[in-house]
Structure 1
Amino acid sequence: MKRKIRTWRRLRRIAVCLIRDRSGIAAIEFAFIVPLMLLLFFGVVEITSGISAYRKVTIMAHTLSDLTSQSASVQDSDLNNFFCASGAIMSPYVTMPNPCPPAPTAVKQSIAELWVNSSLQARVQWAKNSDGSTPAAAGTVVNIPASLQVANTYIIYSSIMYTYVPTVGYVMNKSGVTLSDFAYTRPRQSQCVQYDAPTTNPCPQN
Structure 2
Amino acid sequence: MIGLRARFAGWVNRFRHAESGVAAVEFALILPIMLMLYVGMVEMSTLITMDRKVQTVSGAVGDLVARSDGTISASTLDDYVKIASGIMTPYASDQLVQTISQVGVDASGKATVDWSVRYLGQARQSSGQYTKGSTYNLPAPILAIVASGKYVVVTECSLSYKPVYGFIFDKAVNLYRENFYMPRFDAQIKYP
Given that residues 150 and 186 in structure 2 are in contact (C-alpha distance below 8 angstroms), is that contact kept between their aligned partners in structure 1?
A: no
- Structure 2 residue 142 is matched with structure 1 residue 148: yes
Q: Secondary structure at the match of 1:163?
A: strand
Tell me what 2:83 maps to. Answer: 85
Size of the aligned set, in residue pairs, is 183
Q: 1:204: which partner in 2?
A: none
Is 1:127 the counterpart of 2:124? The answer is no
**CA 12–125 in structure 1, closer or farther in 2 if over 3 Å, else same:** same
Partner of 1:34: helix, strand, or coil?
helix
1:37 aligned onto 2:34: yes
Residue 23 of structure 1: how far off its partner (Å): 2.6
Counterpart of 1:189 in structure 2 is 185
CA spacing shift, 1:63–1:31, aligned 2, 3 Å: same
Aligned counterparts of 1:7 and 1:147: Cα–Cα separation in 2: 84
**Match of 1:52?**
49
Cα RMSD, aligned residues only: 1.8
Task: Determine which structure has more spread, i.e. the larger CA radius of gyration.
Answer: 1
Does the aligned pair in 2 maintain the 1:60–1:87 contact within 8 Å? no
Letter of the 1:32 counterpart: L
DSSP 3-state at the match of 2:82: helix
Instruction: Tell me the SS of whatever aligns to 1:130.
Output: strand
Correspondences of 1:138-177 after superposition (within 5 Å): 138-149=132-143, 150-173=147-170, 175-177=171-173
Q: 2:31 and 2:72 mapped to 1: Cα distance?
A: 57
State whether structure 2 residue 60 is matched by structure 1 residue 63: yes
Give ranges in structure 2 of 5+ residues lacking alignment: none
Q: Distance in 1 between matches of 2:48 and 2:156?
A: 18
TM-score w.r.t. length of structure 1: 0.81
Identity %: 28
Task: Show the counterpart of 1:12.
Answer: 9
Once residues 106 and 61 of structure 2 are traced to their aligned partners in structure 1, the CA distance between those partners, rounded to angstroms, is 24
Contact kept in structure 2, 1:160 and 1:181, CA below 8 Å: yes
Counterparts of 1:183 and 1:158 in 2: how far apart (Å)?
5
Shift of 1:140: 1.7
CA distance in 2, matches of 1:118, 1:19: 85
| Number of the residue aligned with 2:100 | 111
Where do 5+ consecutive residues of structure 1 fail to align? 95-103, 197-206
Q: Deviations over 1:78-115 (max 9, x none)?
A: 11111102342111112xxxxxxxxx532011100000
Instruction: Output the TM-score relative to the length of structure 2.
Output: 0.87
Tell me which amino acid in the other structure corresponds to 2:41: V
